[in-house]
Amino acid sequence: MGTVQVINPATEELLRSVEQVDAAAVDDAVPRARAAQRRWARLAPARRAAALRAFAAAVEAHIDELAALEVANCGHPIASAEWEAGHVRDVLTFYAASPERLSGKQIPVAGGLDVTFHEPIGVVGVIAPWNFPMVIASWGIAPALAAGNAVLVKPAEPTPLTTIRLGELAAQAGLDEDLLQVLPGRGSVVGERLVSHPDVGKIVFTGSTQVGKRVMAGAAAQVKRVTLELGGKSANIIFEDCDLERAAATAPAGVFDNAGQDCCARSRILVQRSVYHRFMELLEPAVRGVVVGDPRSRDTEMGPLISAAHRDKVASYVPDDAPVAFRGTAPSGRGFWFPPTVLTPKRTDRTVTEEIFGPVVTVLPFDDEADAIALANDTPYGLSGSIWTDDLSRALRVSRAVESGNLSVNSHSSVRYHTPFGGFKQSGLGRELGPGAPLQFTETKNVFIAISEEG
Ligand code: NAD
């Protein structure tokens, strides 16, 4: 039990104390969720669709409140936080269409009729990180509910506020209180109990690769289904034939969005040697121009880091003798600020190989296409990445060769609720979002019905 002090990272002020539930609370929540899930799954598909639309409408009616909570709890710039709340509404709306579209197959067989059903798994545990709390929670909640499951959500310890509010809004919208339950608590307690509980049929975990491996190992004991969304060290590959001005102007947003606390951050910029110096000349003013400050201001592009401890971790990657090319600015005084920082290290440096999860980017030159691909793939991660080139064939060749789940060409976009999202290699397992997400929360059942020969 106990409480956690929820802190505003831009001011270090206490926002609220939130009670942490214990493992016994999980044990109490699971059977209630199971009972609610059975009632939910028995409802007509149109009723479940309408309930999810009502939940989306409740979110729509509280966009400003949800955004303000995320600004205060996470230090996200207000414009980003509003986008995030709108995204949650859109995710719910998109998957509200699923209950009426979860069609099975009819497969030709001898001697009868063969059909498949997509049965709900039952109770799903969603374990969320602190970097995009409500967005990532919604990626599990919406398709799991749409497929007929109940959901237990464990927000990350420092950032429970929007998730708690989403749970309240779901209940206000008419969803059974036991169908979607928010369980704030410690990862080592509530998270572990969700993983070990025999009646939780699936875990959706988003967080560090280190904890993700532990979740996967724990789930193996029961062959529990898992979706894992883990770390990243994505490459932004700049070829000499691209629009260099645009590539340089957009590179800061590609890595410093959410102060670099983004699993998709393009934290390794790889630049063809022939244009390296020109690119750095263009990148410098773009980095110095990033507006870092009060997240409540509409001009702000980057807010603070989530905590003092996380700032210390990020700072450890930039010691006094670090190869700093140039830096942006950040406020001094209260708040967990860290300026956008550009490093030019060796290829083997830990700033190149480890996920920093802060506003620190490394820039490395490469020689040719083969070198760029080898460098991009020289990481255990494979989540995201960008390719800048005006040569369509090269764009396609490199897109196919980079071992990553989400690539963008001449852009830094990664996430759309209607396209699949997830990682190669140690960046994860399974996919979220996109049209297929509800199927990730079902078991396929095949039923053969014999047809008598007599007529
Ligand atoms: P984290 O792994 O420390 O924690 C994530 C969640 O797991 C939290 O809710 C935490 O309480 C819980 N947890 C901790 N120990 C646990 C245990 N033993 N069993 C079960 N749950 C446990 O990660 P974080 O610091 O909150 O988030 C940052 C990490 O998340 C980064 O590595 C980032 O790349 C990754 N991330 C990935 C994606 C993606 O979609 N691939 C998205 C966002 C963040």
Would the CA dihedral through 300, 82, 336, 257 be positive or negative? negative
Q: How far is the CA of 229 from the centre of ligand 1 (A)?
A: 9
Q: How far is the CA of 232 from the centre of ligand 1 (A)?
A: 12
Work out the average pLDDT over 354-372.
98
Q: Is 131 in the pocket of ligand 1 (CB under 6 A)?
A: yes
The average pLDDT across 303-313 equals 98
Measured by CA distance, the residue closest to atom 36 of ligand 1 is 207
Report which of 92, 144, 136 is spatially closest to residue 442, judged by C-alpha positions: 144
Checking DSSP bridges between strand 112-120 and strand 442-450, what pairing results, if any?
antiparallel
Ligand 1: residue whose CA is nearest its atom 8: 156
Exposure on the CB side of residue 126, measured as CA atoms within 13 A: 27
Which residue, judged by its Cα, is nearest atom 20 of ligand 1? Answer: 191
What value, to the nearest 5°, has the Cα angle with vertex 75 and ends 74 and 76? Answer: 90
Please tell me if the CB atom of residue 156 comes closer than 6 angstroms to any atom of ligand 1: yes
Exposed / middle / buried, residue 45 (Cβ in 10 Å: 0-12, 13-18, 19+): middle
* Sign of the Cα pseudo-torsion (154, 18, 88, 355, in order): negative
Percent of the chain with pLDDT over 70: 100
Position 453 scores a pLDDT of 84
Half-sphere exposure of 118 (CA within 13 A, CB side): 21
**pLDDT value at residue 222:** 98
Identified catalytic residue from 263, 264, 355, 432 = 263
Question: Which of 229, 240, 355, 432 does the annotation list as catalytic?
Answer: 229
Which residues lie below 8 Å from residue 113, measured CB to CB, with a gap of 6+? 106, 448, 449, 451
Domain ranges of the chain: 2-230+427-447, 235-409
Q: What is the pTM of this model?
A: 0.98
Q: How confident is the model at residue 111 (pLDDT cuts 50, 70, 90)?
A: very high
| Residue 84 is among the residues annotated as catalytic for this protein | no
Tokens 């939780």 sit on residue? 200
Residue with the two structure tokens 């969803």: 175
433 pocket-lining for ligand 1 (C-beta < 6 Å): no
CB-based burial label for 332 (10 Å; 0-12, 13-18, 19+): exposed
Mean pLDDT for the stretch of residues 117-135: 98
Residue with tokens 């724990």: 218
To the query of whether residue 242 is one of the catalytic residues in this protein, the response is no
Could you tell me the distance, in angstroms and rounded to a whole number, from the CA of residue 420 to the centre of ligand 1?
20
Note the pLDDT tens digit of each residue in 182-194: 999 999 999 999 9
| Predicted confidence band of residue 323 (pLDDT cuts 50, 70, 90) | very high
> Measured between alpha carbons, how far is 444 from 38 in angstroms, rounded to an integer?
17
Give the span between the Cα atoms of 127 and 225, in whole angstroms: 14
Q: Which CATH architecture has domain 2-230+427-447?
A: 3-Layer(aba) Sandwich (3.40)
pLDDT in tens, 211-238: 999 999 999 999 999 999 999 999 999 9
Q: Which ligand 1 atom lies nearest to the CA of residue 427?
A: 41
Return d(Cα 71, Cα 285) in angstroms, integer.
Answer: 27
**Whose structure tokens read 């990180």?**
129
184 lines ligand 1 (CB under 6 A): no
Answer yes or no: is pLDDT of 455 > 80: no
3-state SS of the chain is: CCEEEEECCCCCCEEEEEECCCHHHHHHHHHHHHHHHHHHHHCCHHHHHHHHHHHHHHHHHCHHHHHHHHHHHHCCCHHHHHHHHHHHHHHHHHHHCCCCCCCCCEECCCCEEEEEEEEECCEEEEECCCCCHHHHHHHHHHHHHHCCCEEEEECCCCCCHHHHHHHHHHHHCCCCCCCEEECCCCHHHHHHHHHHCCCCCEEEEECCHHHHHHHHHHHHCCCCEEEEECCCCCEEEECCCCCHHHHHHHHHHHHHHHHHCCCCCCCEEEEEHHHHHHHHHHHHHHHHCCCECCCCCCCCCECCCCCHHHHHHHHCCCCCCCCEEEECCCCCCCCCCCCCEEECCCCCCHHHHCCCCCCEEEEEEECCHHHHHHHHCCCCCCCEEEEECCCHHHHHHHHHHCCCCEEEECCCCCCCCCCCECCCHHHEECCECCCCHHHHHEEEEEEEEECCCCC
Q: Which two tokens stand for residue 35?
A: 């009972």
Confidence of residue 341 (pLDDT cuts 50, 70, 90): very high
Query: Residue 161 — very low, low, confident or very high, per pLDDT cuts 50/70/90?
Result: very high
Q: Return the closest-CA partner of residue 136 out of 391, 402, 417, 428.
A: 417
Residue 133 Cα to ligand 1 midpoint, Å, equals 11
Distance 127 CA to ligand 1 centre (A): 8
The token duo for 336 is: 């967990």
Q: Supply angle C-alpha 261, 265, 266, rounded to 5.
A: 150
Name which residue sits closest to atom 34 of ligand 1, judged by CA.
231
Per-residue model confidence (pLDDT) at position 414: 72
Query: How would residue 122 be classed by pLDDT, with cut points 50, 70 and 90?
Result: very high
Instruction: Choose the residue to mutate in 127, 136, 138, 182 for probing ligand 1, maximizing ligand atoms within 8 Å of C-beta.
Output: 127
Q: How far is the CA of 203 from the centre of ligand 1 (A)?
A: 13
Ligand 1 contacts CB of residue 428 (under 6 A) = yes
Per-residue pLDDT of 388-446, as tens digits, reads 999 999 999 999 999 999 999 999 987 999 999 999 999 999 999 999 999 999 999 99
The whole-angstrom separation of Cα 10 and Cα 71 is: 9
- State which of 195, 230, 384, 406 you would mutate to test the pocket of ligand 1, scoring each by most atoms of that ligand within 8 A of its C-beta: 230
CA 226 to ligand 1 centroid distance, Å:
14
Question: What's the pLDDT tens digit per position in 47-103?
Answer: 999 999 999 999 999 999 999 999 999 999 999 999 999 999 999 999 999 999 999
Give me the chain's average pLDDT, please.
98
The fold of 235-409 is Aldehyde Dehydrogenase; Chain A, domain 2 (3.40.309)
Ligand 1 midpoint to CA 228 (Å): 10
Are both 2-230+427-447 and 235-409 of the same fold?
no
> In a mutational test of the pocket of ligand 1, which residue from 154, 189, 206, 426 has the highest number of ligand atoms less than 8 Å from its CB?
206
Confidence bin at 454 (pLDDT 50/70/90) = confident
128 lines ligand 1 (CB under 6 A): yes
Is residue 183 in contact with ligand 1, taking CB distance under 6 Å? no
C-alpha distances in Å from residue 136, one per residue of 152, 233, 242, 455: 14, 19, 33, 55
